[in-house]
Structure 1
Amino acid sequence: MAADPQEYTTTLRPTGNADLDDALRASSDLLSLQKTQAVSPFALTGRIHNDYSRLISALESYGFYAGGITVTVTDGGGKSGAPAAGSHDGRDPDLPEWMQSIPAGHKAQITISAQPGVPFRIGVVTLNPDRGDPPVHLNADEIRAFGMKPGMPAQAESVLAAGVTLQTALTEEGYALASVSKPQAWLRPDTHTLDIAYTVHRGPVVNLGAFDFAGLQRTHPAYIARRLTIAPGELYQPSRIERARQDIASTGLFSDVQVNHGDTLASDGSMPLDFSFREGKRHSVGAEGGYSTDLGGRAGVTWTHNNLFGNAERLRLTALITGLGGSAEQGLGYDFYADLLKPDFGSRSQNMSARLEGIKQELYSYRQTALLARIGIVRRVNRRWNVSFGGQIEQEQIQQMRTNNSYFIASLPLSANYDGTGVDNPITPATHGVRLGASITPSASLTDGTSFFAIMQATVSTYFDLKALGLSRPGRSVLAWRGTIGNVEGASTFAIPPDQRLYAGGSATVRGFRYQGVGPQFANTRYAIGGTSMDAGSFEYRQRIMQKFGAVGFIDAGQVTADRTPFQGTVRVGAGAGARYYTPIGPVRLDVAVPLNRPARGDKWELYVGLGETF
């Protein structure tokens, strides 16, 4: 009794061309469906017949236009019964009846053999003008884009792609209505060549016409017009139009941005563009949290109002409870703040931001209750550099060593930052490149004795992918280094408010030591004094494990002193290891560190949990 469905196995004999074998294998339904879709003998015969044309197309795609395909079917045998005699060609009209004679439980053995033959090459290449057009003459750039030359391998993919790339080149030159037909081809078996012809229509050079914006509900059309990197009257170029679309989409205002145009020009010969928008959610709520043994836990919520006034403004309100059980904390604190962002302030390359913030900290170094307000502008110089400047005022009450002081501080922070890592999202781990940051903050403390001082800080971090040495796959094994240096000029340590002094210790500087646990301390206490100079360095080895996990080993060192010059004082060193779990929004970080030269009253170890790499 014949099997129904008829199971089978398929073998593809190698041709000696690995790429061609891969193409044949990918084209064959016999191979791709043999394990999942067994069919009746008659249906299997149909599958064999269909594979001939599919496999011939694969040969032709690699320039083998005189090749052939042979399919042979035999009884592969089974656990019982004698196998059906003989073998049959896949085109044998008696194949269905013979397959009926294969006993149940036997698999049909199908063997595919390809005979590529002599590879064909490009012969005559002709570019015909469309009806009514002048003869086609390509300039040097268009010739390079087209790429078709006599003598090239006559691979179908290249022949088809040549017309597409030529049309793209023409439209980038402003020929908005340009078209290049699919090629016509003539085989020349006697010379093993393929003659090809394309029909080319240039049309006129076109400028952009009027823009239409559809789907805007809360967003002002004037903001979109200002934000766009293209304008009516400019040369039509699809690549610039697409970059403009992506730029608008990057504002985060919209869940979808599309741009289209018709097949006809406006009466003035320009090409109008139709932009369609789907606005995103206006409000969102998020949660924030983290933990370290020195600062304890922090938890809170964030509420965001997007597109506040219709020009992409963003208001974000955040409420955090801090100091949940940390060794550097004496009690609970809070951090409440409101951020207002005004993008494209005066220029599409700069943003204005403002913050109003209330802070309470119960640190061992000092207790602080403060209200601050600041406003600033961040200007993007280019894709790697940005600068910022602004102003800040702060009214605070600070208790240190049972002494209470009030301060009113006015500051003018200035900073410059460079990012050569190529990473747009700051939470995404960098694998190569350098980051630099430098700031200077002239400040005046105007209460309890006026003092003027300037805080100067600089940080550099660099990342080296061991792929460059051939030791790993890209992004799997990375060495990372960070160096930080700071200095305060203009006032002595105790003339500077405690929260404006320099400290070290914690995840941002020297792990293994509690927050502000590196540097001079008040005698017989664990209270940090702070200093006027600080330096710290970190070295990490980061290793990805499988897809979602990773491990880190690190060593940190740093020092703080009241001297005017960095690199003074007692160097404290910490070392540790950590684990990473990679999520779509960044790696979840868990690090454990110990001090290698623990000071008196210092913690024996520290634990850090957060989102994103330490630097």
Structure 2
Amino acid sequence: MAPAQQTPGAPPVEVPPADAATDQPIVSDAEFDAALPALSDDINAPLEAMPAPADTAQATPDDVLTPVAQAEPDLVAPLPTLGSYDTTPPIELADTDDEKTVVIRYDTDVRGLDAIEATGLFNGLSALKEGDGEAANAAMVAARGREDEALAVRLMKSKGYYDGTAISTIEQPAAGDTNGRIKAIVSATPGKVYTLSSVTITADPVTPPDLLRRELPLVVGDRIEADRVQGAEANLALKLPQQGYPFITLGQRDILLDDAKWTGDYTLPVDTGPRSSFGSYSTEGKLAFDAEHVGVLARFKQGELYDNRKVDDLRQALVATGLFSTVSVEPVRTGTPGPDGTEQVNLLVRQQAGPPRSLAGSLGYSTGQGFTAEGSFTHRNAFRPEGALIGTIIAGTQAQGASGTFRRMNAGKRDRTVTLTASANHSNYDAFDAFTGTVSGRISYDSTPIWQKKFSYAYGFELTGTNESVYDFSTLQRERRTYGIFALPGQVLFDRSDSLLNPTKGYRLKLSVSPETAVSGGVKPYARVLVEGSIYQAVSDSIVLAGRIRAGTIPGIDRDDLAPSRRYYGGGGGSVRGYGYQRLGPFDPNGDPVGGRSINEFSLEARYRFGDYGIVPFIDGGNAYEGIMPKGQDLRYGAGIGGRFYTNFGPMRVDVATPLNPREGDGKVALYISIGQAF
């Protein structure tokens, strides 16, 4: 034992010598055990009160237990309600828009990310940048800086810099700086970039054997960048279903980094599923048509190698019928062997037929034609599949009529349409006044917004009876004649433009031929021929130059033996703008147009578009002639400007034009309002 230390100036302390008596216990074990209170055998029984000392007179305050309620009354008091608490946030969390809140302004300085081209991405995600240079206090600025430290590290790793570090600091304003803005600095140190040392795909054999490696564009030496790796995997998941593997599933990639060599071993597990070919179709849900008609819409045959692009095309064709509120196409395994070792896939079409009936209307105006209002009622699936009934009424200032049409879309072949129409119309123009009844049929193979075809065609028949006013040059007066006309119209179109509704490049060539026979005091066969070409060329992102030429002839019949409604006329919104409808061509002595057997026209437009709007200056020219050959002389010109409002179904058009070399009786201004470009 160390000797006792004595404080200087204190009286000496005597330490008794150690002997046997000092080693005896102060309280014996027996006495201690006897002093313990008896315990109950029931562990759940309440504790008994501690007994007071036998000699209460000698008890001290420490010997008596004071009840809790008396010693600490707050401990037994009821808790206050939540509404009584002060919920005002601390100043570092307070809304900085509060005028009473102290605002610290700061500038953000990002260093080290320019070298890896990550500064722009950092600025878009930064907490400091999002704060717009304002915070409640320095603690908030520091917290944002710590968030941006982690952001900078994530961005560096996404660029392949897995050893990158970042630190944020706050720099106080320099002495004498009256600006008072602190500077938040985020400094990044990318370090060395990691590259791929190996690329491994674990999968069952595929056909062709190099398919997986070919469609996963990662090679040894590539940087281990997140965008590069994810893009390569997305390409694999995209291309395999296009080449016979619709059930491919990518597993979780593994990249084992070697920080001594700054490289990584990349491994990707892939479950390709069976190599598949197209098989059967099935449908479920509220059906608009059956599985057999689904096969008509498909642009592939049974046994062809599976390609999900063709499945997407089928889905779009189903949507384009307008018969569904929802529709989906899903490949389903069948286990049935197909050609070339494939497994046939069943395409399950889940349908939810929508309302088949619709009402539509349109309104237009042009000088010479006046107002034209058209309304229609359509039942798109009255005769399944896709057999529509259409009723149309035309009510205009110069044209009235009604028609009924049966139309079957995708009739035995995708995009082939069969149409039967019966109509009765009255047309009252300067050129003629006609009451006409027509029965016609047409078969067409048309372009659609889903599948714009290079080559399309139409052919059919037309049986027309018409009573028309016609000027008789032999009697020098107008009279009414009745004509019976039988025609076999046909049309072919070669289309290399980039859009059906609003082309910006390419060209179109169209030929229309209609052999006809007119019966009016005799049988007179003839033919109506019309050739038209248009071209479109973009000269900038917002300007497209467009041009059109048209020429037509009607050989085999004299003009005066031809029904006025079958002759050629120039002028109007789809012809030479600036002149009234059908006002170009020969006139009778009364100054009314009588039409001709030939026509030529041209149009030039500069289509300037800005957003959903456009401005189109244009010039048109042309004329109609009595003979069967159009002439290059006597052309009439019109010029003007138009406005366009572009919608998802095509542009709405308003054109204002004036004739440049008018004749007596031509108006000074012509107005045209319609839907679609002029050509």
TM-score, normalised by the number of residues in structure 2? 0.77
Distance in 1 of aligned mates of 2:488 and 2:208: 59
Provide the C-alpha distance between the structure 1 equivalents of 2:227 and 2:651, rounded to a whole number of angstroms: 41
SS in 1 for 2:375: strand
Does residue 69 (structure 1) correspond to residue 163 (structure 2)? The answer is: no
3-state SS in 1 of match to 2:412: coil
Residue 561 to residue 24, structure 1, CA distance change in 2 (3 Å): same
Kindly indicate whether residue 509 of structure 2 is the aligned counterpart of residue 411 of structure 1.
no
Task: Give the match for residue 667 of structure 2.
Answer: 603
Q: Which residue of 1 aligns with 2:395?
A: 321
The letter for the 2-side match of 1:334 is Q
In the alignment, which residue of structure 1 is the partner of 2:559? 493
Among 486, 497, 504, the residue aligned to 2:570: 504
Q: Which moved more, 1:223-232 or 1:549-558?
A: 223-232
* Cα distance in 2 for residues equivalent to 1:274 and 1:42: 59
Asked if residue 226 in structure 1 is aligned to residue 292 in structure 2, the reply is: no
Contact in 1 for aligned 2:142/2:170 (Cα 8 Å) = no
Q: CA deviation at 1:596?
A: 1.3
Q: Which string of whole-angstrom CA distances, capped at 9 and with x for unpartnered residues, describes residues 224-269 of structure 1?
A: 233233566543333332222222222222232212356x654766
Please point out which of 185, 193, 205 is paired with 2:255: 185
Structure 1 pair 56/339, CA: closer, same or farther in 2 (3 Å)? farther
Task: Identify if the C-alpha distance between structure 1 residues 266 and 533 changes in structure 2 by more than 3 Å, giving closer, same or farther.
Answer: same
Aligned to 1:326: none
Q: Output the CA distance in 1 between the equivalents of 2:564 and 2:208.
A: 72
Aligned partner of 1:244 in structure 2 is: 314
1:376 aligns with 2:376: no
- Cα pair distance change 1:274/1:50, threshold 3 Å: farther
Q: Deviations over 1:151-198 (max 9, x none)?
A: 122212222333343344444443444433232112223322222112
The residue aligned with 1:470 is: none
Residue of structure 2 in register with 1:23 after alignment? 121
Displacement of 1:46 = 4.8
Between 198-207 and 308-317, report the one with greater CA deviation: 198-207
Q: 5+ unaligned residues in a row in structure 2: which ranges?
A: 1-89, 97-102, 338-342, 472-477
Task: State how far apart, in whole Å, the 2-side matches of 1:590 and 1:202 are.
Answer: 56
Contact 1:163-1:181 within 8 A present in 2 as well = no
1:481-534 deviation line (CA, Å, top 9, x unaligned): 1101000010111111111111111111111111111111012x2211111111
Unaligned runs of 5+ in 1: 84-105, 324-331, 468-472
> Which of 579, 582, 593 is equivalent to 1:528?
593
Task: Output aligned runs, 1:166-565, within 5 Å.
Answer: 166-208=236-278, 210-230=280-300, 233-261=303-331, 266=335, 270-323=344-397, 332-380=398-446, 383-401=453-471, 402-424=478-500, 426=501, 429-467=502-540, 473=541, 476-523=542-589, 525-544=590-609, 546-565=610-629
* Alpha-carbon separation, structure 2, partners of 1:300 and 1:172: 45
What's the offset of the Cα at 1:348? 2.3
Q: Measure, in 2, the Cα distance between the counterparts of 1:566 and 1:418.
A: 24
- Which one has the largest radius of gyration? 2
Aligned to 2:655: 591
Question: Are residues 560 and 12 of structure 1, via their aligned partners in 2, closer, same or farther at CA, if it must alter by over 3 Å?
Answer: same
Secondary structure of 2:608's counterpart equals strand
Write the letter of the residue equivalent to 2:648.
P
Alpha-carbon separation, structure 1, partners of 2:306 and 2:617 = 53
Could you tell me how far 1:339 is from its partner in structure 2?
2.7
Letter in 2 for 1:288: S
1:492 counterpart letter in structure 2: D
The 1-side partners of 2:443 and 2:346 are apart by 36
Q: Report the counterpart of residue 10 of structure 1 in structure 2.
A: 108
Structure 2 residue 189 is matched with structure 1 residue 125: no
Match in the other structure for 1:51: 148
Q: 1:444 to 1:177 in 2, by over 3 A?
A: closer
Percent identical pairs in the alignment equals: 25
- Give the Cα separation in 2 of the matches to 1:433 and 1:259: 34
Amino acid paired to 2:114:
G
User: Please, what is the CA RMSD of the aligned residues?
Assistant: 3.0
Structure 1 residues 456 and 76: CA distance shift in structure 2, 3 A? farther
Determine helix, strand or coil for the equivalent of 1:499: helix
Q: Secondary structure at 2:276's aligned position in 1? A: coil
**Contact (CA 8 Å) 1:431, 1:478: kept in 2 or not?**
yes
Q: Which amino acid aligns with 1:187?
A: L
Shift of 1:12: 3.0
Question: Contact 1:70–1:114 (CA<8 Å) still a contact in 2?
Answer: yes
Q: What is the distance in 1 between the residues matched to 2:236 and 2:399?
A: 65
* 1:439–1:122 CA distance, 2 compared to 1 (3 A): same
Letter in 2 for 1:431: T
Q: Which moved more, 1:481-490 or 1:441-450?
A: 441-450
* Per-residue Cα deviation, 1:455-500 (whole angstroms, up to 9, x for no partner): 0001111111012xxxxx2xx1111111010000101111111111
> Equivalents in 2 of 1:227, 1:585: separation in Å?
23
Q: Deviation of residue 392 (structure 1)?
A: 0.1
8 A Cα contact 2:430 2:593, kept in partner: yes
2: CA distance, partners of 1:236 / 1:188:
41
Matched residue pairs, number? 566
Paired with 1:595 and 1:18, the residues of 2 have a C-alpha distance of 63
Separation of aligned partners in 2, 1:497 and 1:386: 30
431-440 or 569-578, which moves further after superposition? 569-578
Contact preservation (8 Å) 2:145, 2:186: no
Aligned to 1:575: 639
* Distance in 2 separating the partners of 1:114 and 1:347: 63
Give the letter for the 2:149 counterpart.
Y
Are residues 1:60 and 2:160 paired? no
CA-to-partner distance for each residue in 1:36-55, whole Å, 9 max, x for gaps? 99678766655443333332
Question: Normalized against structure 1, the TM-score is what?
Answer: 0.84
Mapped to 1, the partners of 2:391 and 2:430 lie a distance apart of: 28
Amino acid at match of 1:543: Y
Range with greater deviation from structure 2 (476-485 or 165-174): 165-174
User: Offset of 1:572 from its aligned partner?
Assistant: 0.8
Q: 1:607 to 1:175 in 2, by over 3 A?
A: closer
